[in-house]
Chain A
Amino acid sequence: QVQLQESGPGLVKPSETLSLTCSVSGGSTSSYYWSWIRQPPGKGLEWIGNIYYTGSTNYNPSLRSRVTISVDTSKNHFSLKLTSVTAADTARYYCARVAAFWSNYNYYYSGMDFWGQGTTVTVSS
């Protein structure tokens, strides 16, 4: 069973950089896509971006200028950096595996099948 665990500071000051890591066990980051999603208090889900194990990334256009997602297959984890944070970035942050891959130029997709429990990040001075 694949398990994901988010880690990182729970409190970040405005204008600083939010950094989170998602550690994967029971599976390998050397395949599939890996995604970050966030949920402001009392609100819905917002996709932040994802990364393929090759390092190819896709970002939410509304966050693209501030987001970097990276993967370290040797440590079996992937990371999120969000710069110049404001109170609007206060949210619960989830990492998830996207069961999708390319094979012979064909794309195979079966949803975000494993999620971490989430970590709450508050932006405040």
Chain B
Amino acid sequence: DIVMTQSPLSLPVTPGESASISCRSSQSLLDSNGHNYLDWYLQKPGQSPQLLIYLGSNRASGVPDRFSGSGSGTDFTLKISRVEAEDVGVYYCMQALETVTFGQGTRLEIK
């Protein structure tokens, strides 16, 4: 299995500031077609997960441009610019190159 490791696991952020979450995979997620099979999901309190970013850097429909994904191979980053109160929740990275696996989750809270 591909192991996904997120850091930090807890992220207190002041509203208006930016935040970054790192996700590392135990093997490269770059396929022969040039795509990185890495997604980011946000699970808001009491809700189902929602897709934020797919294939490493593509924003899903309706996702604010404050959210951006970057990285390739084994190292990926989710950046949230100008954090708002509604961004609170647990962020998960997920690889879809092989049998799907998720990171442990990063809990973002407002200071």
Q: Do A and B come from one complex?
A: yes
User: Which A75-90 residues sit within 8 Å CB-CB of chain B?
Assistant: none
- The tally of residues in A whose CB lies under 8 Å from a CB in B reads 24
In the complex the two chains form, is A112's CB within 8 Å of B99's CB? no
* Residue contact B101 to A47, C-beta cutoff 8 Å: yes
List, in ascending order, chain B residues with CB within 8 A of A47's CB.
Answer: 94, 99-102
Assess whether A26 is interfacial by the CB under 8 Å rule: no
Would you call A94 and B49 a contact (CB within 8 A)? yes
Residue pair B99, A113 in contact (C-beta under 8 Å) = no
CA of A60 to CA of B53, assembled, Å = 23
**Residues of B with C-beta under 8 A to A58:** 99
* Residues 33-62 of A at the B interface (beta carbon under 8 Å): 35, 37, 44-47, 50, 58, 60-61
Inside 8 A of B54's CB, which chain A residues have their CB? 99, 109-111
Chain A minimum-CB-distance residue to B35: A109
Residues of the A chain whose Cβ atoms lie less than 8 Å from the Cβ of B19? none
**Once bound together, how far apart are the Cα atoms of A106 and B60, in whole Å?**
21
B58 nearest CB across to chain A (Å)? 7
Given A117-B48, A118-B48 in contact, is the A111-B60 Cβ separation under 8 Å? yes
Residue pairs across A and B with CB atoms within 8 Å: the count is 63
For B61, the chain A residues whose CB sits under 8 A away are: 113
The chain A residue sitting closest to B92, CB to CB, is A45
Inter-chain CA distance A68–B102, complex, in Å, is 21
Q: Note all chain B residues with C-beta closer than 8 A to A110.
A: 54-55, 58, 60
A41→B104 CA distance, assembly (Å): 14
A116 proximal to B (CB < 8 A): yes
* Inter-chain contacts of A45 with B (CB < 8 A): 41, 43, 49, 92, 94, 102, 105
Q: Please tell me which one of the listed residues B94, B99, B104, B105 contacts residue A61 in the complex, with CB atoms under 8 A apart.
A: B99
Q: Can you list 12 contacts pairing A with B, beta carbon distance less than 8 Å? A: A44-B104, A45-B102, A100-B96, A107-B33, A109-B55, A111-B54, A112-B39, A113-B61, A115-B48, A115-B50, A117-B48, A118-B48
Give Cα A100–Cα B96 distance, bound, in whole angstroms: 11
Min distance, Cβ A118 to any Cβ of chain B, angstroms: 6
A60 / chain B contacts, CB cutoff of 8 Å: 99-100
* Identity of the chain A residue whose Cβ is nearest the Cβ of B47 in the assembled complex: A117
B67 interface residue (CB < 8 Å to A): no
Q: B39–A111 contact, CB under 8 A?
A: yes
